[in-house]
Amino acid sequence: MAFGELLRSPLACVVFFMAASASAQGYGPWSFGMTREEVRAVAAHGPYYDFKNLDIGTQQGPFEGGVVPTSFYFLNDKVERVMLMLYRGNDSAAAERAWQAAYSHLQKTFGGVELPASGLPAATREDAAEALRASNLLVTKVGKLQMGVSPAPKDRLVWCSLTRNEEGLLMVALNYAKP
């Protein structure tokens, strides 16, 4: 059957476009499976820079009307994960704002948020704020707190981590990964 004949079949069209859509998942203008050259070709969000491990990044990744540092992680020369660094520093209030921005993004984009540490299948904005306060990560404790989307999409893994290291550095990272 020729491609043109195939596209005249309604069922074939649905299957074709669903497959194309699933393979195109990722974040923003970037899709899982892109090569380094294809990522760099998204010039509107460059310039791009190289990491020692051959991954790449940009300071111009789009996030909720602004831009944030964004890293692209590769496996077999194809994008496997996109990480948006919403905050990196020592300011607890800024880290809390980034955590809340991540919550808002996940809620708006996917319809629900879960907090694995709390055991809650669905978390409100207040639940996310309380889990962060209870974790003591904004004060002294070294560790990590995560939230994810609920229900989880089948075409990608999406989660946010707030991490505090031994030096007191706080990081809020939003991740989109190939399942």
**How do the domains of the chain map onto residue ranges?**
3-80, 85-177
80, two tokens: 């496997």
Q: Is the separation of the CB atoms in 68 and 86 below 8 Å?
A: yes
R_g over Cα of the chain: 19
Q: Is the separation of the CB atoms in 61 and 68 below 8 Å?
A: yes
38, two tokens: 């294809």
CA 47, 51, 56, 62 torsion: positive or negative? negative
Question: Using H for helix, E for strand and C for coil, what is the string for 119-149?
Answer: CECCCCHHHHHHHHHHHCCCCCCCEEEEEEE
Q: How far is CA 134 from the centre of its chain?
A: 24
Which residues are paired to 175 by β-bridges? 83, 159
CA 145, 147, 176, 62 torsion: positive or negative? negative
Digit-by-digit pLDDT tens for the chain (179 residues) are 443 443 444 433 333 333 333 335 899 999 999 999 999 999 999 999 999 999 999 999 999 999 999 999 999 999 999 999 999 999 999 999 999 999 999 999 999 999 988 777 788 999 999 999 999 999 888 999 999 998 989 999 999 999 999 999 999 999 999 99
Virtual CA dihedral for 81, 34, 98, 120, nearest 10 degrees?
-50
Q: What is the pTM of this model?
A: 0.84
Q: What is the pLDDT of residues 138-177, one digit of tens each?
A: 988 899 999 999 898 999 999 999 999 999 999 999 999 9
Whole-number Å distance between alpha carbons of 42 and 17: 23
- For 156-167, the DSSP string reads -EEEEEEEE-TT
